[in-house]
Amino acid sequence: MKVLHSVHPEDFKNYHTQQIRDRFLIDKLVQPGALNCVYTHYDRMIVGAASPADNRLELPNYANLRADYFLQRREIGIINVAGDGEVIADGKAYALKKLDCLYIGKGVESVTFTSADPSSPAVFYLLSAPAHASYPTTLVSNDEVVKVNAGSTAMANERVINKYIHAEGIKSCQLVMGLTILANGSVWNTMPSHVHDRRMEAYFYFDLPEGQKIFHYMGEGHETRHILLDNYDAVVSPPWSIHSGSGTSSYSFIWGMAGENLDYTDMDALAITDIR
């Protein structure tokens, strides 16, 4: 499993384009018929994707983990962003339509992924953090999840925030996870920007039309840089970094965090006029 190491904010100021991409970009995650994971040293979050074709994919026991099985000391959040699929956790099957979320707790030994129709395969985005207690495996569909309206058309940031795994939602040890859908014509996410020193974050962009790009902004609020992303690219955000994006089209993205707490609202906002 590929490893991403942590970066100091003073060093980041000197990074050129390729260094930023090498240190923070997680691309080529989604590959037909394959499961890929990247181990980050930001709160030891593993970022992955499973896209079964006509095959069954298994969450592997990576050598990096030195564990008996993947979830021996970990929990995982799974969101499907494409065709209908199924996840089987220790023999129990869960059907996930697009935008449904499954949490699987520490101690589940076998996790497998399949697509209902190989011509319209599921794409399961995966986030896994270390866990020290076992919480029940829980499926929450997009129909039943808590939705929060944010932004406005005038600011080109009208969007719906869907919160799945957090202090008042699906119970977890440290994983916080959800997804945000931009309204047609809105292109700005997470603007005004914020940081949360107590948690890292990873963004995974999807439903970006072919030929379009995401400008994802990162860095300390007074020292920002950008990185250009494609559909199905993920990017890690260190605790000292803003994480905001604008697209050349509307899009959606999955956000996920791990760290000190499960409080979604524990954020320090920056005034738009203070961003440099």
Ligand X SMILES: O=C[C@H](O)[C@@H](O)CC(=O)C(=O)O
Output the CA angle 180-207-145, nearest 5 degrees: 35
Nearer to ligand X, 106 or 196 (CB): 196
Measured from the CB of residue 202, what is the shortest distance to Zn ion in angstroms?
10
Instruction: List residues binding Zn ion (CB under 5 A).
Output: 201
Which two three-digit tokens encode residue 52? 């079964």
Least gap, CB of 160 to ligand X (angstroms): 9
Specify the residue, 73 or 198, whose C-beta has the smaller distance to ligand X.
198
| Closer of 35 and 275 to ligand X (Cβ) | 275
Q: Which is nearer to ligand X, 74 or 243 (CB)?
A: 243
Q: How far is the CB of 190 from ligand X (least distance, A)?
A: 4
Burial of 18 (0-12, 13-18, 19+ CB in 10 A): exposed
List Cβ neighbours of 11 (8 Å cut-off, separation of 6 or more): none
Report the candidate in 87, 2, 25 with the shortest Cα–Cα distance to residue 228. Answer: 25
Q: How far apart are the first and last CA of the chain?
A: 36
Is 243 annotated in some ligand binding site? yes
Amino acid at 151: G
- DSSP, res 33: T
User: Closest CB to Zn ion among 73 and 194?
Assistant: 194
Q: Report the partner that residue 124 touches, choosing among Zn ion, ligand X, none (CB closer than 5 to 8 A by kind).
A: none
By a kind-dependent CB cut-off of 5 to 8 A, residue 159 interacts, out of ligand X, Zn ion, none, with ligand X
Tokens, residue 135: 């919480």
Handedness of CA 59, 50, 189, 215 (dihedral sign): positive
Least distance (Å) between residue 195 CB and Zn ion:
7
Q: Annotated binding residue at 194?
A: yes
Q: What is the 8-class DSSP label of residue 208?
A: P
Residues that bind ligand X (CB under 6 A): 150, 159, 161, 180, 189-190, 196, 201, 243, 255, 267
* Residue 180 contact partner, candidates Zn ion, ligand X, none, CB within 5 to 8 A by sort of partner: ligand X
Going by the DSSP 8-state scheme, the letter that residue 231 receives in this structure is T
Binding-site entries for Zn(2+):
194, 196, 201, 243
Binding-site entries:
194, 196, 201, 243
